[in-house]
Structure 1
Amino acid sequence: MAHSNEQQPNKPDTQQMRQIRELVLGSNGQHVTKTIKDNARELVSEVFSEALHDRERQDGSVNKVLLPLVEKSVEKSIEANSERFVGYLYPLIGSLVRKYVTAFITELLEKTNTLIENSLTLKGLSWRFKAWQSGVTFSQYAASQTFAFRVEQVFLIHRETGLLLNSVSLGLELKADADMVSSMLTAINDFVSDSFTSNSGKIEQNLDVVRTDDFTLLLKKGPKASVVAAITGNMPQGVANQLQQTLEEIHKLYDKELDNFNGDSIPFNNSEHQLRDCLMTVLKPESNTDKRPWMALTVVLLVLIGCGFLLVKRWQSHELMNQVSAIDKAPGILLTNIDTLGLEQIQLEVLRDPAALSVQEWLEQQSIDSSRVILKERAYLSLDPSLIKHKTELVVARYSNVTIDWVDNSPKFKGKSTNLNKLLLQAELAKLVGLNFQATLLDDLIIEGTENTAANDPELIRAILDLNIAKIDRVSISFEPGKSDLSELDLEKLIDIKEQFNNLIEIAEQQELSLGLIIMGASDTVGTASFNKILSQKRADVVKLKLQDLGVAANRLNAIGLGVIKLKTTKEGARKVLFNVVYFEGG
């Protein structure tokens, strides 16, 4: 009983203490809470820095929590005060751009060097073949051979629904093709389905690693979310440890968001900072083998040799063209075109007078290999003074007792000749174009021996005939542009032609020759080709009709329109009617 009496006062004491606490602290400690709230600013300010420092040193969570908040604050501040921030950052932009460009160029050079080393070597070709055999791209295979391991992508997945909350990658969204991303997501989708689907009444599947030909999928499960990493190469244990650490941090930081997840992944956007800690890369150790790109050097050397060979051949062709171009200075040869033909030959197009030196002889004189020159040659009559002298000397050389001297490009003939030879020489010289021969130039020749009369000497008659024909062939009728009318001077010329031609008919009949006169009309290059053709024919017809009116038999005249004559003359010189006397056996 005594013991019972001692316990009775305890109940009032306990009740009294509870009442005292309520009086001091208030109901549910409201007085303390109010006091702390009233003095919270002073209390927190005294320990705030130390608390942040201690927590950051403990697990590093302060930086990961504050970093997304600071980034959002800076982003909103820049959007609201963009012009002010531009002013703040303007002095730094120049140096930042230079540093960025320098870093970019350095990275580009390193990548280019790696590409050259691994693409133009035996190893690179072997890798390409093995990549083709495996059905993967060369870049994927090269990465597998270059890196000991590399975490390509990390996925944060909601445990209950299996929905993707966030993901990060090593630039895959920029560098990988759509097929690779699609196949990876498909594999992940299947993996997630296998990992999170519960069999009714059975133990839930628990897959930690899925291996494929291209990469490995590593899963770390948590109570509310899971982290999946896609890894290439041989995965070390450190990757699994990092995934586990990241998963714990995400559960700690996003616990409420995971509990209240309704399919919206926006609250987990800031989890990228935690997921990026899992993107780990380790290169394979460098081997001691010689990594110089011998194949690349060989290709470059062959290209340089080929370029050098082409340059030498081009230089030789250029020198040959310079040598051959000098042919234009040769008398009676006119260069119209020269061009390269392949690596060693050139094509040469010239106009050459029949009396001029042949192109082959000229090439031999210049010590030029004629096999390297493809020649296209056309004939023309040259008015070069030296060539005219040469032609004249060739004609005179056939007459043994006649010599020639030149005084200011004018010939002086001396020596002895028969009357027949004089007439023959006169006929040949009269045919030379550009000589401007006159019969008086032969007056200094001494005529020797007795001669038969013209009526009894057929050779003399033929010489006289040729001489007079040459006189008619040298005559031409000129016209005004676009006209076909004859002037008074033209009528006088036609009268002379009529008389000379009729006289020739009598001489030709003595030799039983039939004589004819061809009248050739020509035009300049002004106007269309069809108009010039008609105009040239009209001019020839006008001259023919006038000769008929003057008494020349129509059956001995033949008018032809030549159209445009392309000669190196003036346009006025091309507006002519030319004559050509022809004869043939038979009366």
Structure 2
Amino acid sequence: MSHRPDTRASVIPAASGGATSDGDELQTLKKLLLGEEKAELERLREHVEDPGLRAGDVAEVLPDAIRRADAEGDGELTEALEAPVTECIESAIQRNPDSFANALYPVMGPAIRQSIANTLKGLIENINRTLEHSLSIQGLKWRLEAMRTGTPFAEVVLRHTLAYRVEQVFLIEPRSGLLMQHVADELAVGGDADAISGMLTAITRFVQDAFAAERDDELESVEVGDHTVLLVHGPRAYLAAVVRGLPPPDLRERCQQVLEQLHAHHRTLLEGFDGNAEALAPLRHRLERCLISAQRERPARRGLSPALILLLLALAGLLAWWGWGRWQAWQAARDLEARQQRLVERLEQTPGITLTEVRPGPVLHLRGLRDPLAPPVKPLLQASGLAPEQVRLALRPYIDLSPRLVLERAQRKLHPPPEITLALDDGTLRLSGYADDDWIARARMLAPLLPGIQAVDASGLVPYDDYLLQQVRERLEPPPSVQLAVNDRRLSLAGSAPLDWIAALPQRLDSIEGLAGVDSSGLQPEEAAEYDSLRARIDGRAIYFDADTKIVARQKDALDALAQDILRLAALGRRLQRPFQVRITGRTDGIGSMEYNRRLARQRALTVRDRLVALGVPSELLVWEARLESQPVMDPQLRRAELHIVPPQD
């Protein structure tokens, strides 16, 4: 804070009779002592909270910061900007790809030409080297070696021509031996990276323990066959590079630099490693700097190489291959023309499709008309063998008046029941079969409105109720006493019929389709009349006695007939589901004591019951009771047992 002359004492108000309180004086003193600093802090706070001002401050120092970070060359700036810059470029390309295409146009052509030239140059060198190795004495030796060892010839050539190649790089946690990150050359064949890292750590510790090495002494390399494993150690991780061939002296220094950069720029990631290798994925691009290789220098050859002669032969082969390709292209053009012709013929033969323009070529252009009811075009295109990009088909909708499509249009519009047949005869739609009145009226109204139909002939239609009645008669074969009627697809039955015929009705009617319901309330079983007649004949019958419990002789035959009637009534009752019981009431003329008459009445009822049971009547159908007269009457007709039909008793 700058020094200023102290003038604050001159503005302190003097006390005048207590007019200014102590609190006001304190506030005034604070303003004088801290007012300027407080205003400066307020200005700084507003500056920090204002996004526009902060953006201006960053804009002033950002260019210098980027240049300084780039000058240091540690790669952190590139890593930090890679993701956001990539995202910005991708977003800009998606929004306006044309601007990027225009910007890249001046450099894309030379870049493509340079890439093609380099590729052809490398291809020619590879062909020359392969031919040289294949037809030379050395190449024949290598082929014999490949056949003897079962190794591919290309791998044998690589083994003898490759000076060295770093195939895999492991970054390993030294204490636990866990694999922190792993990169490999695309041509390398490796095993389980986690297992290899664990074994390398175990070997390192074994060597230290076996030879009592000092703490700072570390295993630096391991040789296994054609491979050498270079080990470079660091405090938080050590690096293992698997090299095929003889590694150069500077390879270890290169790996040491990579490991030092990892510790310098990614120390936090290394210290926080918890076994999750995905967290160390940003380290892969640095490890990939160690994946280098080099070929052995070939000695200069004198004279012409046999490969040059073979190259001329290869050129001749290429010329023959070009001619073969031209012939194949001609054949392909003929095949394309034939496929296009077949597609055109199939489209012209398809009902509902009419082609108005056909332009063959590499792409077949077709224009025409298509009825909405025509078959889909996609299966025809697939069956032609032409790719979708080889056909441009534009079909406009129209109404086809061919008989087939007119009938199909009528089917979809009228929705006829299965019993109806449609036929088109010179513009007249003929209807035949069975249908209800509503559908017939609807068909008469809608059919003339359809394109291609000029008139409707419904003389072949039969009302559906009549059709159903005919089906019912043929199926049921009703007796003459049964009347049948069908109204609105509902069957009504009236009259009388055998009970077995009535019981079979549901099963027989199930086979008749179209019935909406069945009303059989007016149908009576013929057995019901016989049941009622037998019941009336049994109910109220009397069996007379001469004296005591002796049945009158002429009543015995009647009792036998009565037993047969009861058995028949029981059989009909079971079939008609009308259960009953026969109540036998024993009666007397009342002459004698009451106890005597009660015993006599009971014995007479039991005598009739036992007789009926003996004649085959089930005992559960029979119940009995004794009834006494209130006044004695000298009337032989009272010496009887009466039979009455009553509901079954529990």
Q: Normalising by the residue count of structure 1, what TM-score does the alignment of the two structures yield?
A: 0.37
User: Greater relative contact order (Cα 8 A, min sep 6): structure 1 or 2?
Assistant: 1
Q: Normalising by the residue count of structure 2, what TM-score does the alignment of the two structures yield?
A: 0.34
